[in-house]
Amino acid sequence: MRVDFDRIIDRRHTGSVKWSRYGDALPLWVADMDFSAPEPVVQALRERVEHQIFGYTLPPEDLGEAVRAWLRRRHGWEVEQEAISFVPGVMRGVNSVARAVGRPGDGILVQPPVYFPFLVVPENSERVLEQAPVRPVNGRYQIDFDAFEQAITDRTRLFLLCNPHNPLGRVFTTMELERLAEICLRRNIVISSDEIHGDLIFNGHKHIPIAALAPEIAAKTVTTFAPSKTFNIPGLSCSIMIIQDAELRAQVKAAGAGLVGGVNVMGYAAALAAYQEGEEWLLQLLEYLQENRDYTLDFVGTRLPGIEMAPVEGTFLAWLDCRSSAACLSHDGEEGNAHEFFLQRANVALNEGATFGSGGEGFVRLNFGCTRATLVQALERMEGALEEGRAAADSSGRGTRCG
């Protein structure tokens, strides 16, 4: 059965963060899609509700095997049952790892611009933030491995990897991951790999779990992911940690004791149904998202002059460079803030690039995980706002800086 991803579901007045934060603006910001969950997931939740009791719960007996089968089938990664644990959120897991590895005052390395909760993990665990930026080379973001190693200090104990990378849309290759892993192993650094977008990969690319590369890498890696992005169920708060080394697993468990609780009953039910019966829905979703990505890339390239979009290899997030249009993006006398400009002039809510850390200034992140009609409407609003901004810049003599 074909899934109707064009169906518009009204999310206003439902408590949706995405649709409430910015009033009546079209929201293309937080990484939350506007599609209904797979029907098997919805049916599993209905059946659980009809049971009418929602007590403390254990993971379903079949869930571990469902996760193992999914990883084996989709990513060619074989993991043992004892390596799997469940947590109520990927960042809960990442913060537990940060508390488990090293001591207060040690360093945690990140690759900005990056998912902004990464930037506060060191502070949360009384560690120090260290940074090795990923930079664009001919429009595509690349890892500078020399700079990565130079960013490592004697106190660096943990590297937070985001793959696929949010917000840059990169799906790192086997060669890139092997080089990162080689450096980390040589410098005795544990890897915490956030792979929550690992199922959302476009044609021509493949997600490689870094822990799947070699046993010695697996022994120094904690992998976190979830069905939340894959099947659009983030509000159900069920995430997965893979820790293949028994000693590291015990350390992370101890660090989360009293802080990281269990998953709720509905989250477990949804995860089991998603991994057992959601693959066909995902395949259709990927087709739709790829068409949205291509539409966005073409629109930006032809109708939003002065704005450039980085290639999106995975995720449903586009990273837009607005720096060449700074003079056109003035609002209330403040020049160059693309987020505020599009919010106030186009009534479109995007993510402010600067919140993703170093290298994000002058950028915005756009979520194309929405109906085509919503995407078209938002992009056309942005086009109209830019045209007005360009006309205003021309009349004030700033037009040559509009890109």
Domain containing 244 — which CATH number? 3.40.640.10
Q: How many domains does the chain have?
A: 2
169 and 121, same structural domain? yes
Coil, helix or strand at residue 353: helix
Last residue of a domain, one of 277, 299, 329: 277
Q: Which amino acid is at 118?
A: F
pLDDT at 43: 98
Statement to judge: residues 297 and 270 lie in one domain: no
Cite the DSSP H helix spans in 208-316: 215-218, 227-231, 246-256, 265-277, 279-303
Residue 400 lies in a domain: no
Q: Strand runs (DSSP E) across 88-232, as ranges?
A: 107-110, 128-131, 135-137, 140-142, 156-162, 190-194, 221-225
Residue 48 inside a domain? The answer is: no
CA distance 331 to 29: 20
Domain-located, residue 38: no
Is residue 233 domain-shared with residue 315, that is, in the same domain? no
CB 33 within 8 A of CB 315: no
**Domain-terminating residue out of 245, 277, 309:** 277
Beta carbons of 194 and 202 less than 8 angstroms apart: no
pLDDT at 331: 57
pLDDT tens digits for 372-395? Answer: 999 999 999 999 999 998 888 777
269 & 178 share domain: yes
Write down the pLDDT at residue 125. Answer: 97
- Positive or negative torsion for Cα 133, 137, 141, 146: negative
On whether residue 143 sits in a domain, the answer given is yes
Asked if residue 253 and residue 148 are part of one domain, the reply reads yes
Do 203 and 174 form a contact (C-beta atoms < 8 A)?
A: no
Residue 110 Cα distances to 150, 161, 319, angstroms: 13, 7, 18
**pLDDT given for residue 332 in this prediction:** 58
Q: CA-to-CA distance for 292 and 61, rounded, in angstroms?
A: 38
In this structure, are 291 and 222 located in the same domain?
no
Residues 28/253, Cβ–Cβ less than 8 Å: no
User: Do residues 199 and 164 lie in contact, with contact meaning Cβ atoms separated by under 8 Å?
Assistant: no
Cα dihedral sign for 3, 7, 12, 17?
A: positive
Shared domain check, 209 and 82:
yes
- The residues that bridge with 334 in the sheet, in sequence order, are 331
In angstroms, the CA 79 to CA 72 distance is: 8
Residue 87, domain member (yes or no): yes
Instruction: Determine the angle formed by the axes of helices 265-277 and 39-51, rounding to 10 degrees.
Output: 150
Question: Which residue in this structure is represented by tokens 């599009």?
Answer: 342
Structural domain includes residue 190: yes
CB atoms under 10 Å from CB of 309, counted, come to: 20
Domain match, 262 and 290 both: no
Instruction: Note whether 121 and 201 are same-domain residues.
Output: yes
**pTM for this model (two decimals):** 0.96
CA distance 259 to 85: 15
Tell whether 205 and 304 lie within a shared domain. no
Percent of the chain at pLDDT above 90?
Answer: 91
Look up the domain containing 206 and give its range. Answer: 53-277
Token digits for 376? Answer: 């078209």
In a domain, 397, yes or no: no
Look at residue 1 in the predicted model and tell me its pLDDT.
87
At residue 217's C-alpha, the angle toward residues 241 and 121, to 5°, is: 50
Residue 11 maps to a domain: no
How far CA 329 is from CA of 102, 360, 394, in Å, comes to 45, 16, 12
CATH assignment at residue 340? 3.90.1150.10
For residues 259 and 351, membership in a common domain is answered with no
Task: Check residue 397 and give its pLDDT.
Answer: 65
What is the model's pLDDT at position 308? Answer: 97
Q: Are residues 199 and 284 in the same domain?
A: no
**Residues of the chain predicted below pLDDT 70:** 331-336, 397-403
End of a domain among 277, 294, 310?
Answer: 277
Alpha helices in 103-144 (DSSP H): 121-124
